[in-house]
Amino acid sequence: MAMLTINDLDVYYGVIQAIKGVSFTVNEGEVIALIGANGAGKTTILHTITGLVTPKHGSIDFEGHNLLKTPAHKIVSLGMAHVPEGRRIFAELTVFENLMMGAYSRKDNAEISKTLTEVYQRFPRLAERKKQIAGTLSGGEQQMLAMGRALMSKPKIMLLDEPSMGLSPLFVSEIFHIIQEISKNGTTVLLVEQNAKKALSIANRAYVLETGKIVLSGDANEMMNNDSVKKAYLGE
């Protein structure tokens, strides 16, 4: 069952067309990877889905809601959370305050503290550092905080933009393990990632983006063994 349907999306920055007729679906319960080189348009697609960029043409449907007619701040309450590239945590606030910012669209206090407990269980390091100023955390911890903050909104789908960027190999493995856990617990994941090997290893399906166009799509395992993907993205 398609949860998110992107159809014939065209996005321009001024006269430059960044996204060219992109269509794809994300089904409930899947992990979908969007892979491609830097500047291929992956982040632009996520920004368009979450209402930060307005497309010139196309449609985006999320569980029957037309996202192009939904204000960006309302998209969160529909059940979509976006973990942006570069993490974008509130550096001056504590870990706890950052997490509570993720729950701003919710009113159910008892349920919010239940979610907070779940986030602390999934990210024990955040529990240890809940009173710490977020800007003093390491890169990997900040990534965990950004993901924990997104989970506080109880999302049905999580959009992750380059979660492994700038992290040590140890943290990269940990972050990908957490993404798998989030998926197993029933949250659908749309993952934008330059580390194609890692992304394909946890995804169900994948789409390859080149200069704003989808040039290849299919089962993630098959992509791992596709010669052109290996050559271009897996460094083989």
Please give the domain boundaries of the chain with CATH numbers for all domains.
Answer: 1-79+155-235 (3.40.50.300), 85-154 (no CATH)
Alpha helices in 70-138 (DSSP H): 72-75, 95-102, 109-122, 124-128
pLDDT digits (tens, 9 = 90+) for 107-161: 888 899 999 999 999 999 999 999 999 989 988 899 899 999 999 999 999 999 9
What number is the average pLDDT over the span 157-180?
90
Among residues 54, 50, 56, the alpha carbon closest in space to that of 192 is found at: 50
- Read off the pTM: 0.91
pLDDT digits (tens, 9 = 90+) for 40-99: 999 999 999 999 999 999 999 999 999 999 988 889 889 999 998 877 899 899 999 999
In this structure, are strands 31-35 and 205-210 parallel, antiparallel, or unpaired? parallel
Average pLDDT of the chain to the nearest whole number: 92
pLDDT band for 169, please (50, 70, 90 cuts). confident
- What tokens does 188 get? 């659908």
Q: How many CA atoms lie within 13 A of 127 on its CB side?
A: 10
Identify the H or E element spanning 150.
helix 139-151
User: Which residues on adjacent β-strands are paired with residue 65?
Assistant: 62
